[in-house]
């Protein structure tokens, strides 16, 4: 009989693997979610930090070109191996542009083709730009929005970043797929499940459903894809909850489900695969973690960018970290109301905060 503690141990062991190279870590994760908030670093850097040996904030951006990876929208936006982006395209079912907008887009494509790689400011300086309302109700430059659309449609790719701003280049050739061939859709689902497994049944369908954003061409096929996924995934009922994980992976032995020998303290990103599924988080650790960056300050309970605090297989609290005049400022909170008194925890926390200082290159 499968126990919840086995699933918890399995989730941690498969995701928090021993630090390796940046390229291998991205390959093992399959996909790294991106987020522009830097508190104290961007989500992609915080996710890679415990999984890449000697990682420093910004290494992903600095090494992007040589890693031969891509940026695109999968179940959310982020960084991925080129093979994953190839599975997302060609996209269809996109909103048709007006004639005037299509002419603007064509001029941008011609400029990018001519120059090879462009910064959005170069496009704006060359072609001019008005403003328009973006997805969040704010104002964005029209050329910036068109670059985003051309990227999403597969006509452009992100060639790298400069100070966090995307640089665009002509896209690689789009693969041709036979009509009705859903093997790419199933492969995408397997990548998503492998990243976030094990998943409770109530999270599996919503995760697969998020592919309607990254693969609008397969939106109508997603319900049937969920059914196919359930047939090929391993599954178990634990205390009335159905769980799913890749069929080629085995759960740890029940007798070794709890490992107290790992005394490392870890501060994880809000979008880390270990904590990304809030439903699973509550089933595993018995309390609600919420991302509160967009919550009004007076309503926050954990903090603007609270990092879940993991020790001995349990998420026992959270931390808010920031750099103030080059120094690491730390504020910690605990589910029980107080920090563990064990010396091992204090030692592990000191080591984790020292590692954060190196990661942020704090003075």
Domains along the chain with CATH numbers: 99-170 (1.10.10), 259-360 (no CATH)
* pLDDT of 139 strictly over 70: no
The reported pLDDT for the residue numbered 136 is 53
pLDDT average, residue stretch 270-292: 97
Handedness of CA 248, 68, 188, 279 (dihedral sign): positive
Gap between the Cα atoms of 271 and 30, Å rounded: 14
Per-residue confidence (pLDDT) for residue 356, from 0 to 100: 96
DSSP for 280-340, please give it: HHHHHHSS-----TTS-GGG-SS-TTPEEEEETTEEEEEEEEEEETTEEEEEEEETTSS--
What's the rounded mean pLDDT across residues 217-234? 96
- What is the per-residue pLDDT for 256? 55
Measured CA to CA, the distance from residue 190 to residue 232 in angstroms comes to 10
pLDDT in tens, 115-126: 999 999 999 998
Question: With pLDDT > 70 as the criterion, what percentage of the chain qualifies?
Answer: 94
Residues contacting residue 312 through CB under 8 Å, at least 6 positions apart: 260, 262, 263
Output the six-digit token pair for 274.
């270990």
* Sign, Cα dihedral of 47, 53, 57, 59: negative
What local confidence, expressed as pLDDT, does residue 174 receive?
74
Q: Which residues are CB-neighbours of 104 under 8 A, at least 6 positions away?
A: 127, 142, 143, 146
Residue 133 has pLDDT above 90, yes or no: no
Q: 178: pLDDT confidence band, cut at 50, 70 and 90?
A: low
Residue 103 has pLDDT above 90, yes or no: yes
pLDDT of residue 1 exceeding 90: no
pTM for the structure as a whole: 0.93
CA–CA separation, 10 vs 243, rounded Å? 12
User: For residue 93, what pLDDT is reported?
Assistant: 86
The secondary structure of residue 57, as a DSSP letter, is: T
Q: Has residue 299 got a pLDDT over 70?
A: yes
pLDDT at 172: 81
Scan for tokens 């430059």, then name that residue: 141
- The reported pLDDT for the residue numbered 252 is 82
Residues in the chain: 363
**How many CB atoms are closer than 10 A to CB 243?**
25
Looking at the predicted structure, is the pLDDT value of residue 285 above 60?
Answer: yes
pLDDT for 102 equals 93
Q: How far apart are CA 37 and CA 43, in angstroms?
A: 7
The pair of three-digit structure tokens given for residue 191, joined into one six-digit string: 């990548």
Is residue 137 predicted with pLDDT exceeding 80?
no
| Average confidence (pLDDT) over 155-159 | 97
End-to-end distance of the chain based on CA atoms, in angstroms? Answer: 51
72 φ, ψ (degrees, to nearest 5):
-175, 175
| Confidence tier at 138 by pLDDT (50, 70, 90) | low
pLDDT digits (tens, 9 = 90+) for 304-318: 999 999 999 999 999
């Amino acid at each position: 009989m499968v126990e919840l503690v086995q699933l918890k141990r399995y989730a941690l062991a498969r995701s928090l693997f021993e630090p390796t190279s940046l390229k291998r870590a991205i390959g093992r994760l399959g996909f790294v979610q991106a987020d522009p908030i830097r508190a104290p670093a961007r989500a992609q850097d915080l996710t890679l930090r415990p999984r890449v040996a000697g990682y420093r904030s910004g290494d992903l951006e600095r090494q992007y070109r040589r890693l031969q990876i891509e940026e695109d929208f999968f179940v959310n936006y982020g960084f991925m191996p080129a093979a994953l982006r190839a599975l997302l395209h060609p996209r269809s079912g996109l909103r048709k542009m007006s004639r005037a907008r299509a002419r603007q887009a064509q001029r941008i494509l011609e400029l990018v083709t001519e120059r090879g790689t462009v910064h959005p400011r170069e496009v704006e300086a060359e072609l001019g730009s008005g403003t328009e309302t973006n997805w969040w109700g704010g104002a964005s430059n029209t050329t910036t929005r068109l670059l985003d659309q051309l990227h999403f449609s597969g006509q452009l790719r992100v060639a790298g970043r400069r100070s966090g701003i995307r640089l665009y280049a002509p896209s690689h050739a789009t693969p041709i797929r036979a009509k009705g061939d859903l093997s790419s859709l199933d492969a995408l689902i397997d990548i998503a499940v492998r990243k976030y497994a094990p998943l409770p049944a109530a999270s599996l369908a919503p995760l697969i459903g998020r592919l309607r954003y990254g693969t609008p061409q397969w939106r109508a096929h997603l319900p049937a894809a969920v059914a196919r996924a359930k047939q090929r995934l391993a599954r178990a009922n634990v205390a009335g909850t159905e769980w799913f994980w890749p069929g080629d992976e085995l759960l740890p032995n029940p007798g070794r489900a709890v490992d107290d020998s790992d005394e490392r303290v870890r501060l994880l990103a809000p979008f880390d695969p270990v904590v990304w599924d809030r439903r699973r988080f509550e089933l595993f650790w018995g309390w609600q973690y919420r991302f509160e960056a967009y919550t009004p300050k007076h309503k926050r309970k954990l903090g603007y960018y609270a990092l879940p605090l993991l020790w001995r297989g349990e998420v026992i609290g959270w931390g808010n970290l920031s750099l103030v005049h080059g120094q690491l400022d730390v504020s910690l909170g605990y589910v029980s109301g107080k920090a563990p008194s064990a010396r091992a925890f204090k030692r592990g926390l000191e080591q984790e905060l020292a590692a954060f200082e190196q990661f942020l290159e704090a003075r």
